[in-house]
Structure 1
C-alpha cells in the first residue's frame, strides 16, 4: 500500500537529517502543510533528567487563524513554558525513583 505525501513532506533521507539537525539546534519543530493543506503545528520535546526524549508536546492550528510567524512568536513561548512544567514533574518523579515512561 503506497503513502500519499504532501508537497511539504520530507521524503528524502538527507532532507530529513538536515531538518532534524535544525530542530535540535532550535529546540522546536514546525510542520506547515505536511499533514493537510492549511495546517500548522509546532512542537517541543519532553525529556527526562538524563536527556532521553520521552514525549513531545504540540499545538496545531490552521492558516486561517495563525501564521508560522505568529505560532513562533505567540504559541512557542507558551508551549515551552508548559514543557518546562512537565520537565519539572518528570524530574520530581525521577527524584522519587518513580518510573518515567
Structure 2
C-alpha cells in the first residue's frame, strides 16, 4: 500500500514519535491511542515501514507465555520527513500528496 499523508497517518506517526523505550508503540496500543481500528492502523504501519519512515523491533514480555510485541520507532529518515510534514502548510501537504512526494 502506498503511503498516503492522511490524518490517520499523521496520528500514527505522532504516537510512534511520542513512544519511549519504556513505553514503546506497538500495533494495538497505536490503535487505542489513535482510536482507529486495526484495519486502518496496520496498513499504515506496513506502508511506513516499506517507505523507510519506521522500523519494527520485537520486545519480549518476560514472565508471560505471550508472544513478543512488534514495536515501531521512527528512523532518522522518518523523523526528518515527519518534521517536514509538520512544518508544511495544509495546502503544501495536499499538493505534495497529490504529486506523490513522500
More helix by share: 2
Where relative contact order (Cα < 8 A, 6+ residues apart) is larger, the structure is: 2
Structure with more of its chain in strand, by fraction:
1
Normalised to the residue count of structure 2, the TM-score between the two structures is 0.25
